[in-house]
Amino acid sequence: MTIQVGDKVPDFELRVMGSNGPEAVRTGDLLAGKTVVMFAVPGAFTPTCSAAHLPGFVVNADKIRAKGVDSIICTSVNDAFVMDAWGKAHNAEDVIMLADGLAEFAEALDLTQDRTAAQMGIRSQRYAMIVDDGIVRLLNIDEKGLESTSAEAILAAL
């Protein structure tokens, strides 16, 4: 069943790029005791994700933080090297670029999409959440476009 408002976000080990290469981080640690905006994209360097989704959170990071958000996390079914390169390409220093390389986190949330027909494998759906101390306070999912998952939509909901 898809994660719902009021549910606890599952604790998974994922990867971020550290100074010596990919480093393990736990979602439970990233979310504990904090207000976090977490958004997911189907793939790094893909058109909508690169042209609008990630850039919106980069541009609005200060406004989002001013509403009491401790951190902004972007996750995708890509490896830590790709997520790091994509973040650097978009000056996303204020966004944690979290790699869900095996889609395990997306699967645990029941927020995957099967893109094997397009040679892309299992990917995350496009979503955005506001999470308070590990509990989902808001969950928006967009099947197409960015109507409810954009930085502007999340900023309006904070």
What's the pLDDT tens digit per position in 82-135?
999 999 999 999 999 999 999 999 999 999 988 888 777 788 999 999 999 999
Contacts of 20 (CB under 8 A, 6+ apart): none
Nearest in space to 80 (alpha carbons), one of 56, 98, 57, 59: 98
38, 41, 49, 80: the active-site residue: 49
What is the CATH class of 13-157?
alpha beta
In order of 23, 33, 46, 130, 131, the CA distances from 81 in angstroms are: 11, 28, 16, 26, 26
Residue 136 has pLDDT above 90, yes or no: yes
Retrieve residue 63's tokens: 């406004």
Contacts of 118 (CB under 8 A, 6+ apart): none
Per-residue model confidence (pLDDT) at position 50: 81
pLDDT digits 0-9 by tens, 20-53: 999 999 999 999 999 999 999 998 988 788 888 9
Annotated active-site residue 74? The verdict is no
